[in-house]
Structure 1
Amino acid sequence: MLIEIQGSGYNVPFYSDERIFLGEGLFETLRVLDNKPCYSQLHWQRLQRAALFLQLPFELSSSVWYEKLKQCIALNQVQDGGIKVILGAGNAPRGLVATSKKSRLVFTAFNYLTDNTAVKLGSSSWLRDSRNPVYQFKSINYLEAIIARRQAQLNGIDDVLFFNTEQCATDTTTANLFIIKNNQLFTPSLQNGLLPGIIRQRLLSLCQENNIPCFECNLNKTSLSEAEAVFICNALQGIRPVSLIDNTVFKTNHSLIPQLQAILAADQRNSLR
């Protein structure tokens, strides 16, 4: 496996025979706090599982993974921001089923400021197939998300909320979804066809540790309309409240949201090493 760390002002090129141009590749985006990556072990585990499913060579140990993350952060002098890691399938002959014996791992760090303003969501104009395995992984093929986000922009909203063919909510283009009702949390189950987000995973565990009821379930539009509050979450942004889904308005000052933000912030700090 080739490992490349991009420095400020220097970008590593991909070559024309690389499988990445067929959309065959994975990526992880990690939050950087105090020059250190958050949840590095969890991101490594998720990338390892996805690479195994797609049969992409990924022999990096968790300790070497962490050291490469630190090198990239130091090289780019990022105090608080993010780091993106792309696992490309490598060079191979033409053909959809062609494979490469040597994958390519590229690290890029960047500055990033979180935005805590509430977001407005709208239902996507198409439905997803919950059985499609692509939605389980952070694939580099983001064309669907690009189309959806541009559609949202044209409609004067921030992002779209996807639904599957059973009319159950899944996630947005870049974040997982939670709703609050009767001081309980509900989030779409993975069986609905969505990414198992790192922050989603941590919130499920943190709620259990803090005696906050939290359930994975099916959420249809009726379920969403009955929610007292809604928020989305991802590794870079953390927790961000939702003020609108289609024509339904939600309050953004529910007491559980800042409580969860504080619990998550402490957990992120604890993940640094």
Structure 2
Amino acid sequence: MIVPIVIHAGAEVAVFPGDDRILLGEGLFETLRVVEGKPCYPRHHWFRLMQSADMLGIDVDLPYCEWVTHLEHSLRKANLETGGVKVLLGAGSAPRGLLTKGEQPRLVLTPFSCAVNTKPIRLISAPWLRDAANPVYRHKSVNYLEAIMARRYAETAGADDALFFNLENTAMETTIANLFLISGDTLYTPSLSSGVLPGIIRGRILELGKEQGIACLETELTKNQLEQADALFLCNALQGIRAVQSWDGFTYNTSHPLAATVTELLSKDTCHERDSR
């Protein structure tokens, strides 16, 4: 059974021992938004974490009820009403070597305060291409050096974030968010086969769109399609939806009515709340 470590305001320091596989990049994380003292989409985050842990061979016994208990305990301990909580799952201690298997995975929860940034974002294409077949991109792993380098490149170029493209030169995602394109009355987003992370909000937008009769297509998005788009927006679990002001010099409508509709649907989403189903 996992014994969670909760960090808040420096009250505790979580130190992964030097033999933990997370120091080789063998670890996962989830970042949940917190509203009115409750974690948002806890079941969705738990399912993705457990699915990735299983795929990576991380032997973790964490039933959903215990997951929720750990989250709620961390938020009470931090007395947090609004913000987020980051959850790290390390693969556990193991002898040296790439093929050794970790034991006793560690779960570290860090509640934090933050505000939602609604300012439209400026994007620039990352200067290198990703391989869509790389399985790392399909998991929310702690391997974030590439994203850090891309974000620094964007900042140096006067942008806010970098948009990745794959070897086929179709759009993927930014360093921290999934991408949506609006053309007419249709939503488009890169398919999972493009090499993107199956984002929690991305998935809910597709599900809500289907329920509400909004045309939503998962497909390959070319640079020409991005150039001709009416609007672009990004989404992630912490920030929700954020309009794109520009990408590589092309500008977009930052107050598109369809984006506003999707934002409203998310604000009323019942799956947003904690549940015990």
TM-score higher than 0.5 = yes
Runs of 4+ in 1 over 3 A off after TM superposition: none
Aligned mates of 2:268, 2:70 — CA distance in 1: 24
CA contact under 8 A between 2:179 and 2:189: conserved in structure 1?
yes
Q: Please state if 1:258 is matched with 2:260.
A: yes
The alignment partner of 1:95 has SS state of coil
Mark the runs of 5 or more structure 2 residues left unpaired by the alignment: none
- In structure 2, which of residues 143, 146, 165 is the aligned counterpart of residue 144 of structure 1? 146
1:269 deviation in Å? 7.0
Q: Which residue of 1 aligns with 2:91?
A: 89
> Does the 8 Å contact 1:2/1:102 carry over to 2?
no
In structure 2, do the counterparts of structure 1 residues 270 and 42 end up closer, same or farther at CA, with 3 Å as the change threshold?
closer
Q: Structure 1: which amino acid aligns with 2:203?
A: Q
Q: Assess if the C-alpha contact under 8 Å between 1:38 and 1:268 holds in 2.
A: no
Q: CA deviation at 1:256?
A: 1.1
Where does 1:103-252 land on structure 2 (aligned, <5 Å)? Answer: 103-252=105-254
Kindly state the Cα deviation for residue 18 of structure 1 after the two structures are TM-superposed: 1.2
Partner AA of 1:139 in structure 2: S
1: CA distance between counterparts of 2:58 and 2:78? 27
Check conservation: 1:2, 1:103, Cα contact below 8 A. Answer: no
Amino acid at match of 2:227: S
Q: Please give the alpha-carbon distance, in whole angstroms, between the structure 1 residues aligned to 2:4 and 2:81.
A: 23
Structure 1 residue 5 displacement after superposition:
1.9
Take 1:114 and 1:238, find their aligned partners in 2: how far apart are those partners?
Answer: 8
For 1:257 and 1:91, the matched residues in 2 are separated by 45
Does the 8 A contact of 1:169 with 1:220 survive in 2? yes
After superposition, the Cα gap between the structure-2 partners of 1:232 and 1:160, relative to the gap in structure 1 and judged at 3 Å, is same
Q: TM-score, normalised by structure 2?
A: 0.96
Distance 1:270 1:250 in 2: 29
Report the Cα offset of residue 216 of structure 1: 0.2
Question: SS of the counterpart of 1:29?
Answer: strand
Which SS does the other structure have where 1:177 is aligned?
strand
Which amino acid in 1 is paired with 2:133? Answer: R
2:72 paired residue among 70, 76, 82: 70
Give the whole-Å Cα distance in 2 for the aligned partners of 1:133 and 1:269. 28
Q: Distance in 2 between matches of 1:122 and 1:8?
A: 35
Letter in 2 for 1:165: L
Partner of 1:27: 29
Aligned length: 273
SS at match of 1:121: strand
Which runs of 5 or more structure 1 residues have no equivalent in the other structure?
none
Secondary structure of 1:12's partner?
Answer: coil
Q: Which piece of structure 1 moves more, 236-245 or 248-257?
A: 248-257
Percent of residue pairs identical: 46
Amino acid at match of 1:168: T
Return the alpha-carbon distance in structure 2 between the equivalents of residues 171 and 39 of structure 1.
21
Contact 2:38 2:273 in 1 (8 A): no
- CA–CA distance in structure 2, aligned partners of residues 207 and 83 of structure 1: 27
TM-score of the pair, normalised by structure 1? 0.98
1:221 alignment partner AA = K
Amino acid at match of 2:198: P
Cα distance in 2 for partners of 1:47, 1:223 equals: 33
Contact residue 41 and residue 271 of structure 2 kept, 8 A: no
Which residue of structure 1 lines up, in the alignment, with residue 9 of structure 2?
8
| CA distance in structure 1 between the aligned counterparts of 2:111 and 2:101, rounded to whole angstroms | 29
